[in-house]
């Protein structure tokens, strides 16, 4: 006798979760962005057509589809954590207006943007980290600043030590900005 789990396994074997779910997510996001921003005007039909073709282009490329498939669970977990935090505040007696007002604060917005960027780079490093790590410079080449080949600059810029310094500098810049900002 077939069970509900067997039906999900059958759907998964057909590739539904690898192709159609990213298609619908990209379509929904693009349609929402186009409708909210009103780039194409008030015509909902144009927004749907453009979103459909963008979703079709993204899901037809294997690399983009793998990226969307990898980022969906991470952002879902991120959204679930935010939902649970808001739910906890509501259970402790906060009002919806208080939470909406708190989300308008620049520090909260920048924190959410920072976490989103971190998630983006986390997924990129998980997808393509092995390829980049195989091509990175070793320490003697890095210390010698051997920039004779055109590929050396790309390898230098993708070196973990260099990326760590850039991330630390960005974090320090954000801290300095928020501590010295006048209200």
Asked if the structure places residue 119 within a domain, the reply is no
* Domain residue limits at 38: 1-60
Asked if the structure places residue 52 within a domain, the reply is yes
Into how many domains does the chain fold?
1
Could you identify the residue written with the tokens 């077939």?
A: 2
Asked if the structure places residue 115 within a domain, the reply is no
Asked if the structure places residue 91 within a domain, the reply is no
Asked if the structure places residue 22 within a domain, the reply is yes
Asked if the structure places residue 135 within a domain, the reply is no
pLDDT tens readout for residues 41-81: 788 888 888 888 888 888 888 878 888 888 888 888 888 98
Asked if the structure places residue 78 within a domain, the reply is no
pLDDT tens readout for residues 93-107: 888 888 888 888 888
Q: Kindly tell me the burial class for residue 81, based on how many C-beta atoms sit within 10 Å of its own C-beta (0-12, 13-18, 19 or more).
A: exposed
Distances 46 to 96, 126, 179 between C-alpha atoms, Å: 35, 36, 45
Q: Kindly tell me the burial class for residue 34, based on how many C-beta atoms sit within 10 Å of its own C-beta (0-12, 13-18, 19 or more).
A: buried
**Residues recorded for the chain:** 183
Look at residue 99 in the predicted model and tell me its pLDDT. Answer: 83
């Amino acid at each position: 006798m077939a069970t509900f789990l067997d039906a999900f396994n059958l759907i998964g074997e057909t590739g539904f979760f690898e192709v159609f779910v990213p298609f619908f997510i990209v379509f929904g996001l693009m349609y929402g962005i186009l409708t909210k921003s009103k780039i194409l005007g008030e015509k909902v039909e144009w927004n749907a057509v453009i979103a459909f073709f963008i979703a079709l282009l993204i899901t037809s490329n294997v690399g983009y589809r793998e990226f969307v498939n990898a980022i969906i669970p991470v952002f879902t977990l991120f959204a679930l954590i935010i939902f649970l935090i808001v739910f906890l505040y509501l259970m402790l007696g906060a009002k919806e207006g208080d939470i909406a007002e708190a989300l308008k604060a620049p520090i909260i917005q920048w924190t959410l943007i920072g976490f989103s960027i971190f998630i983006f780079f986390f997924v990129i490093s998980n997808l393509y980290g092995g390829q980049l790590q195989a091509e990175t410079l070793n320490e003697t080449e890095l210390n010698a600043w051997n920039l004779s080949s055109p590929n050396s600059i790309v390898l230098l810029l993708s070196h973990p030590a260099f990326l760590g310094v850039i991330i630390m500098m960005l974090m320090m810049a954000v801290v300095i900005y928020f501590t010295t900002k006048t209200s």
